[in-house]
Amino acid sequence: AAAEIGIRFHASRGSMSLGRSGGGLPPDCVVQKEEDILLDSERLINKYHDNRKYAMSRIALAPCSPFSVSKELMIQSRELAQKKGIMLHTHLAETLDEEKFCVEKYGKRPVELMESLGWVGNDVWFAHVIHLNEREMKVLKGSGVAHCPTSNMKLSSGICSTTELQKYGVKIGIAVDGSASNDGSNMWEEVRRTYLLNHLKYGTKGLTAYQVLRMATRGGAEVLNRDDIGILEKGKAADIVLFDVDDVAYSGCHDPLVGLVTCGNSSLVKMTMVNGKIVVWNGKLTNIDVNMIYKEAKKVASDIVNTERKLQNI
């Protein structure tokens, strides 16, 4: 689907192996055997991972979180990732419940646990990273963080300390998290909320509009360890988004960038180019029939609800 649309796709092979019967968070019905996870992970890497410059498809290994996988799977995932030269990803230090779980089960705080498992460094990025102390920020030097403001607000998780993390050499990009904690998954809304939430936390010392845009573009590329995307210059991939602000709502805006970051939205997208090919024109996808996808998605959603209702009546 990503190839058909024409977007650049970094797919993270998620996994959960620690169910409730083993002291984990997920129901046992959604966990997998660790050997199955590792075999499928290697299959996906061999089939879809492209390590070449300007690659459109890459794979990362992503055991879900400290309370949904075993330490053994984290270690084996790290070994496989190092063998194949790919990145690692997981959720970390998102909630105080996670911190309590790690201390009770492993005797370590979340970042301490990752450090003990070899899960820090340039080939690792984490989602959220909210609850940590100064020492833990220093430990994460070189690692990446996907800052998810909407998810953090919806779940009342807290606010990521972006300024302090960057001070200690942590790479930060902006992300939407998933549909379970972000109903809209609108990247441009995340840009705006990053700006607003940062000012709520840091006041007048909050990020500028330019710094937020850099975090959303070049910052994301840095988190993914890519030096071929994220910035418009010679030798980089031609990834370009054009916004049309020729509208009465922006008639008094003296700085288009500030206007876009503080009150822009995705409906302003005129054109999107990925790797030199136009995939959005006049706000519409150029390579696929959106109406067909909408109808199919609606049917699938209805089937899921009906199946759930049947299971509840069993």
Q: For the segment 148-165, what is each residue's pLDDT rounded down to a tens digit?
A: 999 999 999 999 999 999
Which residues does residue 173 pair with via DSSP β-bridges, in sequence order? 146
How far from 201 is each of 40, 135, 161, 169, CA to CA, in Å? 42, 21, 8, 20
Of 213, 168, 165, nearest to 221 (Cα)? 213
pLDDT of residue 59: 99
Which CATH code is given to the segment(s) 2-234? 3.20.20.140
CB 169 within 8 A of CB 137: no
CATH superfamily membership of 238-314: Urease, subunit C, domain 1 (2.30.40.10)
As a whole number, mean pLDDT of residues 274-296 equals 94
pLDDT of residue 314: 57
96-105, 127-136, 174-183: segment of lowest average pLDDT = 174-183
How far from 289 is each of 4, 5, 228, CA to CA, in Å? 11, 10, 30
As a whole number, mean pLDDT of residues 301-310 equals 89
Which residues does residue 60 pair with via DSSP β-bridges, in sequence order? 12, 87
As a whole number, mean pLDDT of residues 97-103 equals 97
| Alpha-carbon gap, residue 103 to 99, rounded angstroms | 6
pLDDT of residue 130: 98
Which residues does residue 249 pair with via DSSP β-bridges, in sequence order? none
Mean pLDDT of the chain: 95
Q: What are the residue ranges spanned by the domains of the chain? A: 2-234, 238-314
Judge whether residue 86 has pLDDT over 60: yes
Q: Which residue has the tokens 């959720």?
A: 91
As a whole number, mean pLDDT of residues 105-132 equals 98
Two structure tokens written together for 190: 């995340």
Judge whether residue 126 has pLDDT over 90: yes
Amino acid 175 reads A
